[in-house]
Amino acid sequence: MIKYAIVPTAWGEVLLAGSARGLCGLALPPARKCDPHRRAKKIWNECTHAGSLLQDLQNQIAQYFDGQTIDFNASVDLSGLTDFQQKVLTTTKQLKYGQTITYANLGKSIGQPTAARAVAQALGQNPIPLVIPCHRVIGSDGLGGFSAEQGVKLKQKMLEMEAAALAATA
């Protein structure tokens, strides 16, 4: 059974989905205001609302979008993904706030030095963006893609916010 929660943030509503194994889905703020319950049902079909789901993570997400330096530590459920996808996402989850890596270097770090394209495809299937910070993986010639609803504009905004927060503390 999938349960979901709605997290109001300074950037819009984030949706979380959890299974018995942990966080299994996260939807970043949409481009336009919409009914979050309808949006959750569209993304996860058979799900029920549980407002207090992963309350610590909800607080961390709100803090992140307020510009605070957050490294997420939630338990995640990647059971529906291939071994390769899980390896890519598990490695990506280790990226720290403000840190970036290229798709090619991520491929090298998992022992697949020629797999930059496959790494990008695995990241495009990331069900838990932000907590598994795929926005921190960039192309060697630019930002690369971002499969969140707001696309590369949101990726760029998140990276700029992280860089600004790190600069403010330096």
* pLDDT digits (tens), the chain, 170 positions: 899 999 999 999 999 999 999 999 999 999 888 999 999 999 999 899 998 999 999 999 999 999 999 989 899 999 989 999 999 999 999 999 999 999 999 999 999 999 999 999 999 999 999 999 999 999 988 888 888 888 899 999 999 999 988 887 76
Q: Helix crossing, 83-93 with 116-124: angle to 10°?
A: 80
The full set of domains in the chain, from first to last, is: 2-65 (3.30.160), 83-169 (1.10.10.10)
User: pTM to 2 decimals?
Assistant: 0.93
Distance, CA of 162 to chain centre = 14
The CA distance from 147 to 151, in Å, is 6
pLDDT of residue 170: 67
Sign, Cα dihedral of 85, 88, 93, 99:
negative
Provide the annotated active-site residues: 134
